[in-house]
Chain A
Amino acid sequence: MRKATLLAGLVAGFSTFAFNAAQAVEIEYWQYVFETRVKAMDQLIAEFQKANPDITVKQVTFPYADYQTRVIAANMAGNGPDVLQLFYGWLDKFAAGGLLQPLPTDAFPHDKIESEFFPIVSAMKRGDDYYGLPTAVRSLALFYNKKLFTEAGLDPNNPPKTLDEYVAAAEKIAKHDASGNLTVAGSTLDMGGQDHQWWREVLIRQFGGTPYTDNDTKVAYDSEAGIKALKFYTSLQLEKKIGAAGFMDEGQAAFRGGKAGMTIDGTFRLGAFGSIKDFEWGVTELPANNEGVRSNYASYFANGISAKTTGEELEASKKFLAYLTSPEAMAIWLKTVGELPARRAAALTEANLKDPIYGPFLKGLEYAHTTLFLDEAAQRQNAIDMANRVLLEGQSVEDSIKQAAEAEQEIIDAAKP
């Protein structure tokens, strides 16, 4: 009798075990550590699991500096994630290395993607396939310190709209001590921050050129427009003295410290600036040129599905990715992380557009460009060096542009998959 009970218990135990195993699919999601992003993802996973009780999502995070290496190393070892976050600029490397699979068109039809998302998602397309979709996107805007505006006799509710107004406002705000040292910057100059994007995708276009051609594989800024754009940028320090590279170490530090009237930065800085208590700040669109031409640089982290994911996990991953790119997920992401929804309908709501902070960033998205970097770190470094040669070594703008264009073309050619 006792034996029979035991046996029955065992059978029951095994069968529930087997039943559970058949039902629960566990997939792994990878992203880098950034407090609000991890928190938002926890919330998204909880919501997703509520709607799909048969799927469990495990979030795994790594420090940003290690993230790419971890993904690549895990892929070699064969135990990588099912769904992973990646910067759009890494796609060439990841796709060439066979890390990602094309998004299945049954769950993610192209016409839907192209009509519902902002056009910048095309940076995730290679050949006929999309390799990932973002939850949120980021763009640039001009942050300004209302207190310094008022002190300089400027209207804090009427920030500069054109490049000329921007320079004029910065000249009024900038302060120097008796020996000519900058004590308050009109605007920050920090090529290592977002200025290289501003120069590349905004200023060059506003001076009538294009930074690259052939899907960003041919450098095209060794031109009249490129020279004018760099002259404008370097003259801000050398002639107009409204700022200085390295002032207070970093542009964002100078702005945070209340020592800079304006700075160009992205949505991702909203969190850090949100804790500023000493002064009020505002956000406005990047200044237009005199003809009214505007441009912006947008970027994003997309989510893709690993090439190694198949079967049940693939079905679960498709569902999870579909949820991550749904309007509902985007609303949660905006609230928690402060990044803009990647779908037009979710982003361009009346409430968002009227929002004094999100509004300018969203308007920027409409005319934003996304550079298809092949080696982001090296291309950024090249822009930093280009400006430094003019600012520190007194090289002529023309020579510096020429040297930068040649060097960048080499970087691009070497990195081409």
Chain B
Amino acid sequence: MATIEQQGAAAGRPGGSFGDRLSMRTKRLLWVWGFLALPILFYTVIRFYPTAQAFWLSFTNWDLLRPAKFIGIANYAKLFKDPQFWKVFKNTFTYLIVGTPISLVVAFTIAFYLDRVRFMHGFIRALYFLPYLTTAAAMAWVWRWFYQPPPIGVINDVFGMIGIPQQPFIRSVDQALYSIMVTAIWAGLGFQIIIFMAGLRAIPTTFYEAARIDGLGEWAILRKITLPLLKPTTVFLVVFSSIGFLRIFDQVYNMTTNDPGGPLGSTKPLVLMIYQTAFNSYAMGYAAAQTVVLFTILLIVSLLQLWILREKK
């Protein structure tokens, strides 16, 4: 506000011309839009324009080298016939449907109990948060070595000591996806715990006191008070975590660099397929069609979740 008034004063000085004829309201609007125009312009150039361009490219056969030629829906037709795409589609949704609930339940449980811990509370919280600060690539490589078969894999060494049969983990078509998912859940846990704890703290303690006086058990308090009042936090985290799992890339790529998305494509998410189509095969048009599909999925999933978890009035 101060800025606007000052500007008014400056423009009002002798010699100020154009500004004098505008009303205060118009001037304020001009200023507001002046500031807003910057991020809008920025977004238009680096976000909206490329997005629109990607939609257009998805109807062409552009390969970076030759001029793009319009080929109609051929890329989409090819995509829906490609068994690899459906496998990748299934993988992506496995990451989403299994990963999101597990990570939220684990994060909530930890946050719920951590909230009550007083002993070294800050330190424990920091420990949970630490993985979130670590570079995904570095973390993925550490886990990749954990998962190795004998004689170098730590997890298999421990299994050997306590008499559990050795597991192939990321060398198995059945276990690889879940092995990678565990690392992704672990990596995102710290963030979710912090958000859940903030949500828990925001619930007024008077509600709990009243409930206890009325003789409600712990389980009932959790169900009737904590969870309903935590809903805005939960909605945020569900959407946030879903988008994260739909876009999973770093963990998968770094844990399977020798055979990206393997073995046999069993861990490959959509984003990795897009990356390979675009930057290994240089089929930019085909890759653009895949990004449009990913965009649509992200949009539908996000809208659906917002609708399901909406505030019922």
Residues of A within 8 A of B (CB): 68-69, 72-73, 75-76, 93-94, 96-99, 177, 179, 181-183, 190, 192-193, 244-250, 259, 375, 377-378, 381, 384-385, 388-389, 392-393, 415
Contacts and interface: CB of A to CB of B under 8 A. Distances in A.
Nearest to A95: B65
Contacts of A375: 280-281
A325 to B, nearest CB: 26
A91 B65 CA distance: 13
Given A97-B65, A192-B258, A181 B280 contact: no
B64 A249 contact: no
A183 B259 contact: no
A96 B63 CA distance: 11
B171 interface: yes
Nearest to B78: A414
A93 B149 contact: no
A192 B253 CA distance: 15
A192 B259 contact: yes
Interface of B (DSSP majority class): loop
Contacts of A250: 258
B50 interface: no
Given A72-B65, A392-B171, A181 B150 contact: yes
Contact of B263 (A96, A181, A183, A388): A388
A259 B149 CA distance: 13
Contact of A392 (B145, B173, B282): B173
A389 B264 contact: yes
Contacts of B262: 384-385, 388
Contacts of B160: 179
Nearest to B263: A388
Interface string B166-200: 10101111000000000000000000000000000
Contacts of A98: 65
A247 B149 contact: yes
23 contacts: A73-B64, A75-B65, A93-B63, A93-B282, A94-B65, A96-B66, A97-B66, A179-B160, A179-B166, A181-B166, A190-B258, A249-B144, A249-B258, A250-B258, A375-B281, A377-B280, A378-B281, A384-B259, A384-B262, A385-B262, A388-B262, A388-B263, A392-B172
A248 B171 CA distance: 11
A91 to B, nearest CB: 12
A246 B264 contact: no
Contact of A76 (B64, B145, B149, B173): B64
Given A179-B166, A248-B152, A96 B65 contact: yes
B280 A378 contact: yes
B259 to A, nearest CB: 5
Contacts of A385: 262, 264-265
Task: Identify the interface centre among A245, A375, A388: most chain B CB within 10 Å of its CB.
Answer: A388
Contact of A182 (B150, B168, B264, B279): B150
Nearest to A177: B150
A69 B279 contact: yes
A202 to B, nearest CB: 21
Given A93-B282, A177-B150, A385-B265, 19 more contacts: A68-B282, A69-B279, A73-B64, A177-B151, A183-B150, A183-B151, A190-B258, A192-B258, A193-B258, A246-B148, A246-B171, A248-B151, A375-B280, A377-B276, A378-B280, A384-B262, A385-B262, A388-B263, A392-B264
A249 B148 contact: yes
B12 to A, nearest CB: 49
Given A384-B262, A393-B173, A377 B281 contact: yes
Nearest to B148: A249
Contacts of A177: 150-151
A259 B263 CA distance: 23
A98 B63 CA distance: 13
Contacts of B280: 375, 377-378
A96 B282 CA distance: 13
Given A97-B64, A249-B145, A393 B279 contact: no
A268 B298 CA distance: 43
A72 B150 contact: no
Nearest to B261: A381
Contacts of A249: 144-145, 148, 152, 258
Interface string B124-163: 0000000000000000000011001111100000001000
